[in-house]
Amino acid sequence: MKVPQAGAVAAVIAIALTASGCVFGDGDQGDGTLAIGIKFDQPGIGMRETDGTFSGFDVDVATYVAKELGYKANKIEFKQVFSNDRELLIQYNEVKFVVASYSINEKRKEKVDFAGPYFVAHQDLLTRAEDRSINKAEDLNSKSLCSVSGSTSAENLRNNLAPKAGLLEMGGYSDCVVALQESRVDAMTTDNSILAGYAARKGNEGKFKLLGQNLSNENYGIGVKKGNKELQRKINDALKKMVADGSWEAAVKKNFGANYKYDPAPAITPVS
C-alpha cells in the first residue's frame, strides 16, 4: 500500500480541521477533555471493542498518564491513529500525545519528542498454525509477507532480514491477519506483543503460531509535540510512578497473559 505524501496528508488534515472549526490547542478540547491517539485494531495493545469501549496495554498506560495529568477516565477522548500518520496528528494538535505501539527511532525523533520508553517489544513472525515451511526470517525470501505501511517492521524485513520476500503493505494489522488467514500471504510481521494479542484473540485460537524470533528491539515511547519538554517530563514522571506502584506489571499481565515473556520495564530516558 502506497503511503500518502506527507504534504497531501497534512493538507487534508488542515482542511478538515478548518472546515469543522476544531483547531485544538495541543490536544486539549474546549470541554475539558483530553485527546489521546491510540491504535483501534491491536488486541492486547489498543483495541476498540464492539461495544465502543477500549482495551489493551497502551490504553491502560494512556489512562494512567492522563490521571496523573489531572484527567479522569471519562475526560479522555481516544482517537484512532495509524502507523503512517502519528507524527502528523501530533504536529497538527489533533491529539495531546500518542500511545500506540510507537517505536522510538531517530527518524521519528526529528518530528516529535518521546517520553519513555515504557515497554520493550521484539519484532516477530506470525504464520498459519499448520505451516512448517517458515522457521526463521530468511525463509521468507521465497514467500509473501504482510506488514503495515509506515511500520519499522516492514523496513527491517525489506532492508535487512529478507530483502527478496514479497512484501504486501496494508493499512492496518487486522487487514494482515485476514490476508494471512485467507492464504493471500504466508506470514505477517510486527512486534511480538501485537502478534500475541491477535493469536490469543477469541476466534483465533489455534489458527496461528508465533515463531518466537527476536528480530529487533522495539522501545515503545509516548509521542508528544516537538519541543514540549514540560509535557515530556510530566509523562516520564507518570510512567515512573506506574512502574513503582505495580500498575505497569499488572497491566502487562492483564493484557498479554500469564505466559507472555516480557522484558522488565525499561529505564526512562531523561529529558534533555
CB neighbour list of residue 124: distance below 8 Å, 6 or more residues apart: 189, 190, 191, 192, 195, 210, 211, 212, 213, 214, 215
Please report, for the domain that includes residue 161, its CATH number.
Answer: 3.40.190.10
Q: What confidence score (pLDDT) does residue 30 get?
A: 56
pTM: 0.79
- CA 243 remoteness from chain centre: 20
Check whether residue 175 and residue 233 sit in a common domain. Answer: no
Name the DSSP letter for residue 159: I
Percentage, residues of the chain above pLDDT 70: 88
Note whether residue 10 is domain-resident: yes
Dist CA 145 CA 123 (whole Å): 14
Are residues 116 and 127 located together in one domain of the fold? no
Q: Are residues 115 and 226 in the same domain?
A: yes
Long-range contacts of 8-16 (CB under 8 A, 24+ apart): 9/85, 9/88, 10/88, 10/91, 10/92, 13/88, 13/89, 13/92, 13/94, 14/92
Based on the structure, what is the number of domains in the chain?
2
CA distances from 199 to 59, 148, 174 (A): 19, 17, 11
- The reply to whether 11 falls in a domain is yes
Q: Are residues 113 and 27 in the same domain?
A: yes
**pLDDT band of 202, cuts 50, 70, 90:** confident
State the residue for C-alpha cell 528491539: 217
Q: Do the strands 112-128 and 208-210 form a parallel or antiparallel pair, or are they unpaired?
A: antiparallel
CA–CA separation, 43 and 56 (whole Å): 6
In a domain, 261, yes or no: no
Contact 175, 154 (CB under 8 A): no
Same domain for 225 and 111: yes
Residue 90 shares a structural domain with residue 101: yes
- Please tell me the predicted confidence (pLDDT) of residue 19: 34
Q: Which of 218, 223, 145 is nearest to 185 (CA)?
A: 145
24 and 65 co-located in one domain:
yes
pLDDT value at position 272?
85
pLDDT by residue (tens digit) across 81-125? Answer: 998 899 999 999 999 999 999 999 999 999 999 999 999 999 999
Output the pLDDT for position 128. 97
The residue out of 210, 236, 267 marking a domain boundary is 210
Residue 224 and residue 203 share a domain: no
- What is the rounded CA–CA span in Å between residue 50 and residue 219? 29
Cβ-in-10-Å burial (0-12, 13-18, 19+) of 30 comes to exposed
Grid cell locating 160: 535487512
Domain coverage including residue 69: 6-120+218-256
| 210-223 mean pLDDT | 92
- Same-domain check for residues 59 and 105: yes
User: Does 143 share its domain with 168?
Assistant: yes
Instruction: Tell me whether residue 262 is in a domain.
Output: no
Same domain, 136 and 83: no
In a domain, 146, yes or no: yes
- Residue 135 located in a structural domain: yes
89 and 12 assigned to the same domain: yes
pLDDT in the model for residue 168: 93
Q: Decide if 233 is inside a domain.
A: yes
Q: Is 266 inside a domain boundary?
A: no
Q: What mean pLDDT value characterizes the chain? A: 88
Mark which of 155, 185, 210 sits at the end of a domain.
Answer: 210
Check residue 27 and give its pLDDT: 60
Choosing from 172, 191, 210, the residue where a domain stops is 210
